Amino acid sequence: ILRVNSAADDLFIEISDLTLANGFTTSEGGALHVLGGQDAWVRLERLELAGNVATLYGGAISFTPSVPTSSRLEIRQAYFHDNQASNLGGGALRIYDHSATIDATTFASNTTGGNGGAINLFDSALTLARSTLSGNSADDFGGEQYNGCNDYLVITRPDVIAAIHESFLRVGAEV
């Protein structure tokens, strides 16, 4: 649906109060693909992303800025559902080589043939707060989310951490 391929400095994109549905690409980001852009800053608020398909990464969104350390992605109050990355990963979202903050967002029923049913991270840092991940699936690793290499995931909901800890204990793991 939306493709941004830019070498521009100070790239800023803000999208709010919109539904992006039923997009399709044979590449990355069925609804939104941001590639390039120095000091890229993408802010997404109050969006619904539904039924989007990418054959590679990021069924709904793929974010790959050219200068990772100075680029950022912010997602607030969004609803990602029924998106699909057919082959490689990130049923709903692919975050490559930069930092992101996701707040008050739901990821439900997203799928991938690769890694990360909801979110695929690679060399990235993600802060996930007050959000829900439910019913997402991946054929390889990470039904809800998948961390690739050298990633940092910060979850700011202690109840989520407690539930994960309890599920490990129920199956006999020593945590």
pLDDT digits (tens, 9 = 90+) for 114-130: 888 899 888 778 888 88
Cα–Cα distance for residue pair 85/121, rounded to 1 Å: 14
Q: What is the pLDDT of residue 11?
A: 78
Q: What is the pLDDT of residue 151?
A: 42
Q: Among 73, 94, 77, 76, which Cα is nearest to 31's?
A: 94
Q: Residues of 71-99 as b/e, b for ≥16 C-beta within 10 angstroms?
A: bbbbbbbbbbbbbbbbebbbbbbbbbbbb
Cα–Cα distance for residue pair 123/119, rounded to 1 Å: 13
Tens of pLDDT, residue by residue over 119-158, are 988 877 888 888 888 888 888 866 655 544 444 455 556 6
Q: What is the pLDDT of residue 150?
A: 41
Tens of pLDDT, residue by residue over 22-71, are 999 999 999 999 887 667 789 999 999 999 999 999 999 998 866 655 77
Higher-scoring residue by pLDDT: 53, 11:
53
Cα–Cα distance for residue pair 135/143, rounded to 1 Å: 8
